[in-house]
């Protein structure tokens, strides 16, 4: 099940590899789902497949990414057509020509195709823009970049049919989520060392102030009776912000230095405001009362 979760972009902080470790921390039932830092969508697609929520609200502040979701949802066949064309024409020259195009001057379909094409062919699937908001990642050195995966795009299109995907700041969900809803937050991680800092998904940065604002929102949603789960790095700053909640750990394989040897297992946090299902089951059986013996 975890292996057949489709994705259409390589995205920093993607959660596909962590889904099996996340499973015990999801609530038992999910009726209305919110994911305001949806990124590559691995968790969203998993939740849709596994829990079939009645309502799914996905959002992200990256407008290009959100536009791509909506084109996949509404016009996947045309998108497949354009990406097929890009795949044939792919070359160094073509990459820089497409990169130089300004999204605002393109149709929504062309914007989505450009975004996916650049993601699949650029260096490390990185998304980085300059101060003017222009994508500036150089071309990667892939022999056969996976520019078009028709099967995955069609499956994602099917999964998105009853879903809303919007460009939003994370805090805009505050008034939307109600008692009993489930919200999963996967913000840009708090840096655990100066060199590991990677928060430049969009023009904006995500620093201490944003993490604090997110923790406030978490508390506010908790107060309303919303089920809330959050991932972040295993840092004292974050543990302090969420010290009143259930702090659980998962082990992620992440690039922790620039060379491949730096790949290692890193502890990451999963914070829930409810007792995860497996712990609930354990505490449902009271400890044997030795006084009866």
How many distinct helices (H) and strands (E) make up the chain?
A: 9, 7
- End-to-end CA gap in the chain: 46
Q: Closer to ligand SAM by CB, 90 or 252: give it.
A: 252
Q: Residue 165 in contact with residue 66, Cβ under 8 Å?
A: yes
> Structure tokens of 260?
């491949």
- Decide: is 202 part of the binding site for ligand SAM (CB under 6 A): yes
Q: How far is the CB of 24 from ligand SAM (least distance, A)?
A: 18
Residue 14 within binding range of ligand SAM, rule CB under 6 A? yes
Interface with ligand SAM (CB under 6 A), residue from 5, 6, 8, 15:
15
Instruction: Work out whether 173 is an interface residue with ligand SAM (CB under 6 A).
Output: no
**Shortest distance, CB of residue 127 to ligand SAM, whole angstroms?**
8
- The size of the interface with ligand SAM (CB under 6 A), counted in residues, is 22
- Interatomic CA distance for residues 61 and 234, integer angstroms: 24
In the complex, least distance from residue 244 CB atom to ligand SAM, rounded to whole angstroms? 23
Question: Residue holding tokens 């009776």?
Answer: 225
Nearest to 188 by CA among 221, 245, 231, 217: 231
27 is a contact residue toward ligand SAM (CB under 6 A) = no
Examine residue 276 and tell whether it contacts ligand SAM (CB under 6 A). Answer: no
CB-based contacts of 209, cutoff 8 Å, min separation 6: none
For 67-88, the DSSP string reads HHHHHHHHHHHHHHHHHHHHHH
Binds ligand SAM (CB under 6 A): choice among 13, 53, 125, 145: 13
Which residue in 8, 117, 170, 242 binds ligand SAM (CB under 6 A)? 170
Site for ligand SAM in 37-66 (CB under 6 A): 37, 39-40, 42-43, 60-62
Q: Which is nearer to ligand SAM, 155 or 186 (CB)?
A: 186
Nearest by Cα to 205 from 218, 217, 189, 219: 189
Residues that bind ligand SAM (CB under 6 A): 11, 13-15, 36-37, 39-40, 42-43, 60-62, 169-170, 186-188, 201-202, 204, 206
């Amino acid at each position: 099940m975890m292996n057949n979760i489709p994705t259409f972009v390589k995205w920093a902080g993607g959660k596909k590899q962590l889904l099996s470790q996340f499973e015990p921390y999801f609530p038992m039932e999910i009726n209305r789902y919110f994911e305001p830092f949806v990124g590559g969508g691995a968790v969203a697609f998993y939740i849709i497949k596994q829990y079939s929520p009645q309502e799914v609200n996905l959002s992200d502040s990256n407008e290009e990414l959100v536009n791509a979701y909506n084109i996949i949802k509404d016009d996947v066949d045309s998108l497949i057509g354009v990406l097929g064309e890009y795949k044939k024409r792919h070359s160094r020259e073509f990459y820089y020509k497409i990169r130089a195009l300004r999204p605002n001057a393109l149709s929504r379909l062309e914007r989505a195709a450009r975004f996916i094409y650049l993601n699949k062919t650029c260096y490390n699937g990185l998304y980085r823009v300059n101060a003017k908001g222009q994508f500036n990642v150089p071309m990667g050195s892939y022999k056969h970049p996976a520019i078009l995966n028709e099967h995955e795009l069609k499956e994602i299109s099917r999964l998105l049919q009853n879903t809303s995907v919007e460009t939003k700041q994370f805090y805009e969900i505050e008034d939307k989520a109600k008692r009993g809803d489930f919200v999963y937050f996967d913000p840009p991680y708090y840096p655990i060392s100066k060199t590991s800092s990677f928060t430049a998904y969009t023009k904006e940065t995500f620093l201490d102030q944003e993490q604090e604002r997110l923790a406030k929102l978490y508390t506010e949603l908790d107060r309303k009776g919303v089920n809330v789960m959050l991932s972040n790095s295993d840092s004292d700053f974050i543990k302090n912000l969420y010290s009143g909640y259930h702090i659980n750990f998962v082990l992620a394989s992440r690039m922790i230095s620039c060379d491949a040897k730096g790949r290692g297992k890193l502890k990451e946090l999963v914070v829930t405001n409810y007792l995860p299902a497996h712990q609930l089951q354990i505490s449902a059986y009271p400890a044997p009362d030795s006084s009866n013996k």
